[in-house]
Chains A and B, each alone.
Chain A
């Protein structure tokens, strides 16, 4: 059994290791088969584990890691309702994206490095989801951060790519600072960092301590999952190859924060305040990011802000206490958002630009891409029948029971979502071609993964109740009951709003053929509320200029000068005293005699 779980994690690790050490001896085709195959093995192993172990919680011990005194952490893997679903989703989506990458990145001279990083990422992500304790999760957490850094900056001679990778890592490190302090605090309080132990003891923690620990951990989650205040790295991360955006920055890594909060839900629940913060940060992020997505012209940037927004929903779901709803949205989002990214990648691959103003009319040239994209867009917009409808609706209903304001913001955001998604579709696939010449449909190696994901983007939404039942053994899974007619009304409002938004998008971008381009609001949105600039002014510039000033005026000007000064003092002192060095024997004899007298006096002082 533990062999099977180890295989899930180790197959991609082996892939990465082989590609890094021996990659240069492998031919192109060998890499194209080998790298996806390792992830395929991982997926198969997850599938077997999923059908054999089902959702029975168990920890599989591999080998000891760190132990000092009572602090003791092992390398083990945890299989339980939550991790089983995550393992299956991660390895499955990763497998599809590996295959897609063969088509997308096959011609890039750095393809060996690319596949090595992608395998390493899959390994780290699976480690993250199968971790039974916080330090192990942190290993995976940092591992995916590393791979994210490496893959965002994959085309490292582009300064923008290198900058974006660095920004992603550093912003995440700010989150990690909180994550680490949360770990330390929990260890100080409980003396054990196993999830099961923390959850079982959470009720006994003092409220303030639980709040502090939960909020510190949540700071980590806002980094990894791109939420306020640390979401700013994700849009820049679009500098990476598009399949990377699909896998890391849409489907898997960025949802790790939601997974972590779900994992430690009893701790968060111990402190009502912490959950409240999670819910509100989620919904505000969702709304804010959706408004920015309205005006983006880069196809990937739209999707990036949309990801931030959708993860906000997931946090809202978990924050109002509906863990299964939040996790379900994570599950469906993994399919339709990676689908949207892959389809966008297909478009970018075909026309060679990411600017939607240079696209248009691609519907006929790229029918498969168009159709799968539309399915993804319908799913994310919450149109009945498609996956996103079921998961988002569940979150909104639970949010409504918690607070009407949460629901209102959520429903308006749902409308915005439909609007920017269809704005994207109309700008890209409809209207007249603007600028591109030789667009073509993508080869089957790219099309088939998209088609599979399109299928999943529809049907994955139909299984909420079995999903909910599957998670039940965790012990903290429950949903509030909502009166049936009330539920229908709420659903009607959100669907109606989404449909209206689609019509509005159609009217503005196809009928009138020009977007809103003026006004204070538009400037504010295109500049992303100036958040990057504000952070720059608040943190980056003071740190840089402060450090420069201290370096110049204090380190060199005060400390070093003091040291050199004392050196000089000795030198000058020596010169001053050099008058004693006359070279005349009689002077020396005189000094000697004086010295003896003084010494005698001191020595005999006791006797006198």
Chain B
């Protein structure tokens, strides 16, 4: 089942190859249908997941190349919620492109479907080999999405995006070789690797290699400058998936690989990592504050928000860790929603320059209402999703490290500053351009894209336990592995990988 779900989009993409390119409507709805099917699959997994079993479930294995280079997928609670997030955002991103993408539509939808498989694969892979394959495979469709359907400076943005990411992942590849060589039976199965004891010096180097790859992906300050460019140039769907899902892979990589594989090295670098997380929060917020382009603003806000995520994960208190994971989901939804809304605005006004916008709540009251809710979800208003994650991160961090938590909590003020300023500059005041007064408000398709997100904002804000309980056990396990509470871990789970 797991494999069926992750390869369904590829299968859909292959079928699309045989559809004549003139049938754009069929292409659109077919792609939407495929990714919606994936979402229903993910729902099935979500409902049938056993929250009391911390190890991967729905496991599927197959011999592939041999020498430990095998196919092995499955989902523990953390993977599960990230898979659901991916499966939810993909159809929404697709639907948001129906009017936005006007040329080479068939290729566009094929790329999104390929990207979806890559993203799902990263979260379900259970050995490093497979993880790396999906990690790299995902880059290719993203490269094309920005490079072919992007804005004016798309080439510059794509080259920067690919170079940044490649530098990180190549070093990680070297690390994977080392692990492969030193693991018993050449297994790259995560839970077997966790029980390796790696000499101190190698740990340091390996951790640096992995951490760099993931820090770029997060992105942590100072590895963030690819993000604003990639976001500004990417089409809406690309931005949604980039912010909503791809950035989560940095955090996921840290908690699944870099931290538990090299725990001593992680402990050694912890102060520096904390500093980077806290700087990211404040720096990202300050940079977001001075942007003129709405998309760049949201891109920098991601730096700030993911700083909160990373702070929570690094500090390894149950509440901060769980909060960090929860905040990944929140950021995926809120920032995804922000990019969707800015995309809808751009389709109408053809500008994202906030100097030229203003007063749009008059002609676009529904869009303004959705933007308002999303902004407050992102600010972390209690009752909405963002608060629960932020609160847990800060609460848990405060228990462990008061200074870091207090500095990070400044983000509470700063996020309100830049997001409310953005809302004001776009929606409030007088309309600057007469033409804008006649803009059409959101249509049914656009409302239907936003409604599931808003429902989730409220649901995740009012009843977070429903979601938290799904990954609490797995999160505890990953934390305890990172804290080296177990010696021979893979014995806990029957049948490691051979």
Contacts and interface: CB of A to CB of B under 8 A. Distances in A.
A24 B272 CA distance: 54
A550 B282 CA distance: 12
B464 to A, nearest CB: 5
Contacts of B392: 66, 68, 71
A143 B398 CA distance: 24
B376 interface: yes
Contacts of A166: 420-421, 424
Interface string A161-200: 0110010011001101100110111011000000000000
Nearest to B163: A567
A547 B287 contact: yes
Contacts of A181: 398, 405-406, 409
B362 A157 contact: yes
Nearest to B362: A157
A153 B428 contact: yes
B318 A64 contact: no
Interface string A71-90: 10000000000000000000
Given A66-B388, A156-B361, A547-B287, A184 B413 contact: no
A597 interface: no
B465 A555 contact: no
Interface in B448-498: 462-465, 468, 472
Contact of A68 (B291, B319, B361, B409): B319
Contact of A184 (B376, B382, B395, B430): B395
B428 A162 contact: yes
Interface in A524-557: 543-544, 546-548, 550-551, 555
B429 A177 contact: no
Nearest to B427: A156
Contacts of B431: 157
Contacts of B19: none
A551 B287 contact: yes
Interface in A146-167: 146, 149, 153, 156-159, 162-163, 166
Given A65-B462, A177-B413, A156 B429 contact: yes
Contacts of A184: 394-395, 398-399, 405
B139 interface: no
B383 A174 contact: no
Interface in B142-174: 159-160, 163-164
Interface stretch (A134-142, A314-322, A511-519): A134-142
B66 interface: no
Contacts, number: 132
State the main secondary structure of chain A at its contact with B: helix
Interface in A34-84: 63-69, 71
Interface residues of A, number: 50
A68 B413 contact: no
A543 B376 CA distance: 22
B207 to A, nearest CB: 22
Contacts of B394: 180, 184
A560 interface: yes
B412 A138 contact: no
A156 B416 CA distance: 18
B417 interface: yes
A546 B417 CA distance: 15
A278 B429 CA distance: 38
A143 B289 contact: no
A543 B418 CA distance: 12
A455 B394 CA distance: 48
Contacts of A180: 391, 394, 409, 412
Interface in B60-88: none
B286 A65 contact: no
A236 B424 CA distance: 16
A68 B468 contact: yes
A515 to B, nearest CB: 35
A146 B376 contact: yes
A608 interface: no
A188 B424 CA distance: 38
A68 B383 contact: no
B192 interface: no
B33 interface: no
Interface string B114-132: 0000000000000000000
Contacts of B388: 66
Given A71-B319, A177-B410, A550-B286, 19 more contacts: A65-B463, A66-B392, A68-B472, A69-B319, A71-B395, A135-B382, A142-B387, A143-B381, A156-B427, A157-B430, A159-B430, A162-B428, A173-B413, A177-B413, A180-B409, A544-B289, A550-B283, A551-B291, A555-B225
Counting from the closest, the 9 A-B pairs by CB-CB distance are: A184-B398, A162-B428, A547-B286, A139-B382, A156-B428, A560-B225, A69-B318, A173-B416, A173-B413
Interface of A: 63-69, 71, 135, 138-139, 141-143, 146, 149, 153, 156-159, 162-163, 166, 169-170, 173-174, 176-177, 180-181, 183-185, 187-188, 543-544, 546-548, 550-551, 555, 559-560, 563-564, 567
5 contacts: A68-B392, A71-B319, A135-B391, A159-B428, A544-B289
